[in-house]
């Protein structure tokens, strides 16, 4: 007796199997999206860090190059002897003042000068300064003084993309000592003696990206410091 063999019956995917497959696919997709987001965020953080460092470093370099020129004046121009050197102009150009603008943190402003045009005379355009004003570092190249308002020549030069949190100047590392022959020889700068001051200015600048919220603990804050050796010593008479 011959048996009749029916056609092969193919069984499809059941509803439960389909749902399990979809769930597994969603889990894999969610993991991939999370990984991609973390990689993208990490790349963005690195980019912001580089940009922030570049902005603050360029600002610090500009201040370094200009401040180290403080006190320059060709006081020996035309002098036949050492005694003929113009110590009055050396003392005048050698003044460095550290203070702050109204409402700003202490020691967030520095004023200095150098003989830009080489005429051995201090012109108003040869008094320079840097200061913190709000979240911007300003520069002045005309009769600068810390308490001056924006109309006195102070202009911001830091990028709007960076918020400057702190700017601090310190001359604590500077040293002064007696150099006159008519002094008492104790090395200290006393009244009636001629002295020399060698200056070192320490600068600290801290900032973060403007789009970030400082209240967020994840905000990237960068601090940079520099020691500026002023090339020109100040030679002056103590009244």
Stated pTM of the model: 0.75
Give the residue among 133, 97, 100 at the shortest CA–CA distance from 113.
97
- For residue 176, the number of C-alpha atoms closer than 13 Å in the C-beta half-sphere is 16
| pLDDT score of 22 | 80
| pLDDT score of 20 | 80
Element of type H or E holding 4: none
| pLDDT score of 201 | 96
Distance CA 136, CA 88 (A): 35
Classify burial at 53, counting beta carbons within 10 Å of its beta carbon; exposed 0-12, middle 13-18, buried 19 or more: middle
DSSP-derived 3-state class of residue 34: helix
| pLDDT score of 165 | 93
Give the residue among 153, 152, 165, 142 at the shortest CA–CA distance from 59.
165
Chain centre to alpha carbon of residue 37: 32
Q: Which two tokens stand for residue 27?
A: 């889990």
Q: What is the pLDDT along the chain (239 residues), one digit of tens a residue?
A: 555 555 555 566 677 777 787 888 888 888 777 777 676 656 566 677 778 888 899 999 999 999 999 999 887 665 545 455 677 888 889 899 999 998 999 999 999 999 998 888 888 889 999 999 999 999 998 777 898 765 568 899 888 888 999 999 999 998 887 776 555 667 677 887 888 889 999 999 999 887 766 666 667 888 999 999 999 888 887 88
| pLDDT score of 137 | 94
Distance CA 116, CA 120 (A): 9
């Amino acid at each position: 007796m011959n048996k009749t063999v029916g056609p092969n019956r193919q069984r499809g995917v059941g509803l439960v199997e389909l749902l399990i497959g979809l769930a597994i696919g969603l889990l894999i997709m969610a993991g991939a999206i999370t990984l991609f987001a973390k990689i993208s965020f990490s790349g963005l953080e690195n980019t912001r860090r580089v940009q922030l460092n570049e902005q603050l470093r360029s600002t610090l370099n500009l201040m370094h190059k200009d401040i180290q020129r403080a006190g320059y004046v060709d006081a020996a121009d035309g002098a036949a002897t050492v005694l003929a050197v113009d110590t009055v102009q050396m003392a005048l150009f050698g003044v460095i003042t550290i203070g702050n603008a109204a409402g700003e943190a202490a020691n967030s402003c520095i004023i200095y000068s150098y003989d830009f045009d080489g005429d051995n005379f201090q012109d108003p355009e040869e008094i320079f300064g840097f200061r913190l004003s709000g979240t911007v570092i300003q520069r002045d190249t005309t009769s600068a003084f810390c308490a001056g308002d924006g109309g006195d020549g102070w202009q911001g030069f830091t990028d709007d993309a960076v918020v400057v949190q702190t700017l601090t100047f310190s001359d604590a590392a500077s040293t002064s000592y007696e150099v006159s022959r008519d002094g008492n020889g104790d090395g200290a700068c006393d009244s009636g003696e001629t002295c020399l001051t060698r200056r070192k200015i320490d600068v600290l600048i801290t900032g973060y990206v403007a789009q970030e919220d400082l209240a967020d603990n994840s905000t990237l804050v960068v601090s940079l410091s520099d020691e500026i050796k002023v090339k020109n010593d100040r030679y002056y008479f103590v009244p």
